[in-house]
């Protein structure tokens, strides 16, 4: 049970909490802008964390600064919790579609509207409010390590060496981050698996220049046709990826997972509408939609180009064509093994008259977090305290690279404690975050800290 | 035998002939430019044709003017010959690669250098010089109809209605045009078959917008993957096109054609170098290169685009993708039948979740000209007179739409009497035309007129 004083601290000072969050939301901290927005947001966070009794500093990186903070006030017998968040936000464009200024936060219809209201300033603030509630009402039950990143929205290009270099400072017994969402309104959710990624571009080069398709058609291998044949061969008739050994290390879906997913309020037609398609498709035949999105690896072309792409016609055999291909991977697939298989596959599907090349743009391992760990159980109890309902355990088809870095570099399984809702408009105009999710999130985060401390008694 | 006076007229006045050709070459008559270059070239031709005793005029079209001329001086018992050429030329870009100004013609190393020196002002001038030689030395042996087009290099967009409207004026017993080339230096060639064309663009549309490939990958049909699968299915493992009925109307290659082609001085490695490829490929397995380029239909992608094509990676399932596909057709394929087959094929290869559309950019019939007609035989004799060697009868993989229009609208089988050489640099910087080809071409054209008249005696 969360101490009543914690709940009161959160609920009785809502205006003061909001005005502090609004200060942070008013700072346009966009990682790919060459201005001082990120530094100002980092400085604000350092000041705020110090006001809560933590040792805090902004640390320069080759890109935008990260914020590090720590507290050992709970004493050596208390567990240490690492809290992660990011202060950088997506650019607000297109500005004309916003109903209020993206960096002038306001409350409308029970929700905060601003760029970053949810992702991730709002969700991070729920965690910080939990810290504040404990710190101001008798003291923190856990020791804390805090890492707040400034380049999440641009792919965390400098995070891996940063974590590696600050490993000792970040050592902890548990880890939490709030940068995900409920499966549905009223249904708290903990994400326990994320897909990895292997991203390639394949180049096919034929004639030295575009050549006349009438004069030469039939005598010269066409790079576009050859590339299409290669791409088509990457799937079999059952929708399975044909790369050598692709499924060898895929962990079968557990019966209890599938059973749990069947209980989720998932409506295929509503989902298709959300994805913007008339009909669902793709993936392996014979599997359900959630299994295909969450539990199975995929291969998708992300872009293709070759030859003449202007209006009307041009009668050429193109000199070259290329395709971007990415695989989403699930545990225990190894992206380096996928890279080897892709290189072999492309070589085997490069016909006479074509020179091929494979470029690798990114390899990220899939992440599987233990659903039954003490931290996960503590989180489940905390959600019940904060939102009155046990969370669903779900997977996610996307990647959250920091989760994999924590696991690989620090040996820490993060708890992905999301407070957002699917309709919050992340990365879009009119991003918002419901006040109920903020207050419930802060209570959940506070309860999680209490549960962690209780569990280690 | 060509009368010696004709030969003398051509050979004894070379400087005067060249200075007249240079006047025409100096006019930058580029069809897609919005200036008076084309009108000036047309006016020059009208004046020149009138000076040879023909009735000539420039005729306005929705685009650039055409020149029409006629002479009935040979009398009602003489045959009538239609001579076609085009005065418009390709743009000269890139200018910096020219060694002399493209519209300041000059002779270097026995060749005329200028844009249009070959294509088609130079070759057309060989025909006009033949007319001049006859007209100035006793009179033309044939009646003449002349059509000189101003939009050939931009695809003759207004030629079909023009020929249809002027059918009576263009009526003739034979037709000749010099806008092609020798198979090799020293080997005169008559082209007796051209491939037709059916040009499509196929659009595949999936999600309403690009969507996240992690969140949705496996649940949504990817338009790029689906389009690649469609394109790949257009050929079987033998390189044959799989469109329904595609080969039904293809005339088998005659044994004597194949035997004749085997005699041609064709070197596959030299050809591969000319096409700019390390190795030949494409077309149907088990057929020779010339058979694949000249005698069999093909299907080539001319361009493809979809999704993210910038540098690096973007993790999206693209909203759409499209591909330009053109078939080269041989007699007696009907492009409208190919269109029907393509539409059925695309519909059958449009998976759930994709909306497809087929746009048609052009349908042109293949052309087959009788190799043993009196006009062809006259041309063969004429080449022997002009160049001392019987011509090879060859096909061409490209299309020359006017040939098909003459056949379909006027019932006239053209003689494609080329004087160019493969190395003349058509459409490229430093286009040129060898003087020997010009004088030999004029003698050949003159001999052809003589032979036609003799044949009708």
Q: What sign results for the dihedral spanned by CA atoms A311, A313, A317, A323? A: positive
Assess A23–B contact: CB distance below 8 Å, yes or no: no
Assess A298–B contact: CB distance below 8 Å, yes or no: yes
pLDDT of residue A314: 87
Assess B349–A contact: CB distance below 8 Å, yes or no: no
CA B22 to CA B18: how far, in whole Å? 6
Mean pLDDT over the full length of chain B = 95
- Judged by CB atoms closer than 8 Å, whether chains meet at A271 and B221 is answered as no
Distance in Å, alpha carbon of A185 to nearest chain B alpha carbon: 18
Nearest to A304 among B213, B292, B321 (CB): B321
CA A22 to CA A438: how far, in whole Å? 13
CA-based nearest residue in chain A for residue B296: A218
Tokens of A61: 């990186």
CA A275 to CA B78: how far, in whole Å? 75
Closest CA to A131 of A42, A69, A188, A190: A69
The answer for B 350-379 residues in CB contact with A (under 8 A) is 351-355, 361-362
Nearest to A300 among B276, B317, B353 (CB): B317
Distance in Å, alpha carbon of B429 to nearest chain A alpha carbon: 15
Cα A197 from chain centre = 12
Assess A115–B contact: CB distance below 8 Å, yes or no: no
pLDDT of residue A67: 98
- Judged by CB atoms closer than 8 Å, whether chains meet at A225 and B208 is answered as no
Assess A430–B contact: CB distance below 8 Å, yes or no: no
pLDDT of residue A427: 86
**Mutation choice for A interface testing from B97, B220, B326 by most A CBs within 10 A:** B220
- Judged by CB atoms closer than 8 Å, whether chains meet at B219 and A293 is answered as yes
CA-based nearest residue in chain A for residue B208: A276
CA B439 to CA B428: how far, in whole Å? 23
* B141 contacts B453 by C-beta, under 8 angstroms: yes
CA distances from A369 to A252, A290, A328 (A): 15, 18, 17
pLDDT of residue B457: 65
Which residues from B are below 8 Å from A315, CB to CB? 197, 199, 302, 326
CA A119 to CA A419: how far, in whole Å? 10
What percentage of chain B carries pLDDT values higher than 90?
A: 91
Nearest to A353 among B207, B277, B361 (CB): B277
Q: Read off the pLDDT of residues A46-105 as tens digits, 9 standing for 90 and up.
A: 999 999 999 999 999 999 999 999 999 999 999 999 999 999 999 898 899 999 999 999
Assess B115–A contact: CB distance below 8 Å, yes or no: no
Assess A320–B contact: CB distance below 8 Å, yes or no: no
Report helix, strand or coil for A453: helix
Q: Read off the pLDDT of residues B284-339 as tens digits, 9 standing for 90 and up.
A: 999 999 999 999 999 999 999 999 999 988 889 999 999 999 999 999 999 999 99
What residues contact A256, with CB distance under 8 A and at least 6 apart? none
Q: Read off the pLDDT of residues B219-250 as tens digits, 9 standing for 90 and up.
A: 999 999 999 999 999 999 999 999 999 999 99
pLDDT of residue A426: 87
Q: What sign results for the dihedral spanned by CA atoms B104, B108, B114, B120? A: positive
Assess A270–B contact: CB distance below 8 Å, yes or no: no
* A417 contacts A445 by C-beta, under 8 angstroms: yes
Closest CA to A62 of A169, A156, A171: A156
Nearest to A326 among B213, B309, B396 (CB): B213
Res B121 pLDDT > 70: yes
Distance in Å, alpha carbon of A400 to nearest chain B alpha carbon: 10
Nearest to A300 among B222, B227, B300 (CB): B222
- Region of A91 on the Ramachandran plot (φ > 0 left; ψ -120 to 50 alpha; else beta): beta
Which residues from B are below 8 Å from A352, CB to CB? 279-281
Which residues from A are below 8 Å from B360, CB to CB? none
Q: DSSP states of A360-411 as a string?
A: EEEEE--EE--TTSHHHHHHHHHHHHHHSSPPEEEEESS--HHHHHIIIII-
Q: Read off the pLDDT of residues B53-87 as tens digits, 9 standing for 90 and up.
A: 999 999 999 999 999 999 999 999 999 999 999 99
* B210 contacts B396 by C-beta, under 8 angstroms: no
What residues contact B87, with CB distance under 8 A and at least 6 apart? B24, B29, B38, B41, B42, B45, B67, B116, B120, B121, B124, B148, B149, B150
The label of the residue with tokens 């059918």 reads B167
CA A145 to CA B403: how far, in whole Å? 81
Assess A400–B contact: CB distance below 8 Å, yes or no: no
Q: What share of chain A is helix, strand, coil (3-state, %, to 5)?
A: 35, 25, 40
Closest CA to A349 of A198, A209, A236, A234: A234
Q: What sign results for the dihedral spanned by CA atoms A433, A437, A441, A442? A: positive
CA A445 to CA A176: how far, in whole Å? 9
Q: Label residue A457 by pLDDT band (50, 70, 90).
A: low
* A189 contacts A437 by C-beta, under 8 angstroms: no
Tokens of B32: 């897609």
- Region of A312 on the Ramachandran plot (φ > 0 left; ψ -120 to 50 alpha; else beta): left
DSSP β-ladder status, A414-417 and A174-177? parallel
pLDDT of residue A400: 85
Distance in Å, alpha carbon of B278 to nearest chain A alpha carbon: 6
Report helix, strand or coil for B404: helix
**Mutation choice for B interface testing from A218, A276, A312, A427 by most B CBs within 10 A:** A218
Q: Read off the pLDDT of residues B128-155 as tens digits, 9 standing for 90 and up.
A: 999 999 999 999 999 999 999 999 988 8
Distance in Å, alpha carbon of A228 to nearest chain B alpha carbon: 4
The answer for A 175-214 residues in CB contact with B (under 8 A) is 195, 197, 199, 201, 206-209, 211-214
Can you tell me the mean pLDDT for A35-42?
A: 97
Which residues from A are below 8 Å from B355, CB to CB? 278
CA B59 to CA B64: how far, in whole Å? 9
pLDDT of residue B32: 85
- Judged by CB atoms closer than 8 Å, whether chains meet at A305 and B305 is answered as yes
- Judged by CB atoms closer than 8 Å, whether chains meet at A315 and B326 is answered as yes
Report helix, strand or coil for B203: strand
Can you tell me the mean pLDDT for B39-66?
A: 98
Q: Read off the pLDDT of residues A155-200 as tens digits, 9 standing for 90 and up.
A: 888 999 999 999 999 999 999 999 999 999 999 999 999 999 999 9
Assess B428–A contact: CB distance below 8 Å, yes or no: no
Report helix, strand or coil for A131: helix
- Judged by CB atoms closer than 8 Å, whether chains meet at A219 and B321 is answered as no
- Judged by CB atoms closer than 8 Å, whether chains meet at B313 and A302 is answered as yes
A254 burial via Cβ count (<10 Å: 0-12, 13-18, 19+): exposed
CA B141 to CA B77: how far, in whole Å? 10
Q: Which residue has the higher pLDDT, A313 or B131?
A: B131
Q: Read off the pLDDT of residues A121-136 as tens digits, 9 standing for 90 and up.
A: 999 999 999 999 999 9
**Mutation choice for B interface testing from A216, A224, A232, A395 by most B CBs within 10 A:** A216
CB pairs under 8 A between A and B: 302
Q: Read off the pLDDT of residues A368-390 as tens digits, 9 standing for 90 and up.
A: 999 999 999 999 999 999 999 99
Quote the strand ranges of B258-330, DSSP E. 298-307, 316-317, 320-329
Tokens of A221: 């291998």
- Judged by CB atoms closer than 8 Å, whether chains meet at A214 and B305 is answered as no
Assess A420–B contact: CB distance below 8 Å, yes or no: no
- Judged by CB atoms closer than 8 Å, whether chains meet at A397 and B355 is answered as no
DSSP β-ladder status, A432-434 and B196-205? unpaired
Assess A233–B contact: CB distance below 8 Å, yes or no: yes
Mean pLDDT over the full length of chain A = 95
What residues contact B195, with CB distance under 8 A and at least 6 apart? A214, A217, B294, B297, B328, B329, B330, B366, B396, B397, B398, B399
A286 burial via Cβ count (<10 Å: 0-12, 13-18, 19+): exposed
Res B440 pLDDT > 70: yes
Distance in Å, alpha carbon of B231 to nearest chain A alpha carbon: 6
- Judged by CB atoms closer than 8 Å, whether chains meet at B224 and A283 is answered as no
Assess A157–B contact: CB distance below 8 Å, yes or no: no
CA A412 to CA A174: how far, in whole Å? 7
CA-based nearest residue in chain A for residue B154: A314
Assess B53–A contact: CB distance below 8 Å, yes or no: no
Distance in Å, alpha carbon of B203 to nearest chain A alpha carbon: 12
pLDDT of residue B255: 93
Assess B298–A contact: CB distance below 8 Å, yes or no: yes
Distance in Å, alpha carbon of A3 to nearest chain B alpha carbon: 38
pLDDT of residue A219: 96
- Judged by CB atoms closer than 8 Å, whether chains meet at A219 and B315 is answered as no
Assess B276–A contact: CB distance below 8 Å, yes or no: yes
pLDDT of residue B246: 98
How many C-beta atoms surround the C-beta of residue B269 within 10 A?
Answer: 9
């Amino acid at each position: 049970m969360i101490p009543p004083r914690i709940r009161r601290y959160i609920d009785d000072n809502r205006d003061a909490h909001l005005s502090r969050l609004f200060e942070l939301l008013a700072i346009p901290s966009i990682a790919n802008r060459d201005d001082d927005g990120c530094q100002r947001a980092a400085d604000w966070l350092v000041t705020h964390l110090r006001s809560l009794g933590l040792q805090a500093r902004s640390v320069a990186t080759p890109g935008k600064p990260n914020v590090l903070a720590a507290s050992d006030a709970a004493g050596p017998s208390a567990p240490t919790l690492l809290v992660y968040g990011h202060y950088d936000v997506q650019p607000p464009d297109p500005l004309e579609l916003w109903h209020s200024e993206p960096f002038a936060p306001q409350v409308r219809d029970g929700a905060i509207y601003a760029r970053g209201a949810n992702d991730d300033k709002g969700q991070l603030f729920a965690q910080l409010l939990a810290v504040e509630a404990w710190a101001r009402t008798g003291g923190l039950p856990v020791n804390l390590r805090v890492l707040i990143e400034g380049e999440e929205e641009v792919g965390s290009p400098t995070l891996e060496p940063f974590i590696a270099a600050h490993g000792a400072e970040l050592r902890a017994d548990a880890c939490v981050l709030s940068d995900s969402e409920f499966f549905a309104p009223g249904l708290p959710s903990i994400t326990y698996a994320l897909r990895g990624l292997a991203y390639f571009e394949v180049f096919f080069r034929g004639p030295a220049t575009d050549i006349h398709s009438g004069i030469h058609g039939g005598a010269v291998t066409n790079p576009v046709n050859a590339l299409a044949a290669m791409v088509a061969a990457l799937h079999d008739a059952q929708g399975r990826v044909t790369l050598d050994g692709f499924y060898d290390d895929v962990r079968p879906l557990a019966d209890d997972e599938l059973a749990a997913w069947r209980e989720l309020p998932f409506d295929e037609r509503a989902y298709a509408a959300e994805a913007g398609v008339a009909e669902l498709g793709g993936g392996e035949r014979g599997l359900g939609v959630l299994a295909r999105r969450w539990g199975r690896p995929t291969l998708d072309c992300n872009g293709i180009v070759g030859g003449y792409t202007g209006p009307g016609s041009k009668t050429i055999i193109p000199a070259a064509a290329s395709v971007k291909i990415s695989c989403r991977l699930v545990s225990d697939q190894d992206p380096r093994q996928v890279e080897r298989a892709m290189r072999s596959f492309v070589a085997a599907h490069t016909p006479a008259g074509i020179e091929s090349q494979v470029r690798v743009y990114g390899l990220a391992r899939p992440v599987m977090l233990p659903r039954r760990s003490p931290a996960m159980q503590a989180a489940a109890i905390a959600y019940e305290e904060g939102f009155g309902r046990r969370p669903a355990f779900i997977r996610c088809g996307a990647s959250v690279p920091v989760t994999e870095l924590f696991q690989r570099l620090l040996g820490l399984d993060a708890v992905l404690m999301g407070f957002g809702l699917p309709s919050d408009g992340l990365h879009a105009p009119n991003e918002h975050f419901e006040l109920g999710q903020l207050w419930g999130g802060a209570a959940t985060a506070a309860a999680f800290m209490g549960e962690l401390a209780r569990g280690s008694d």
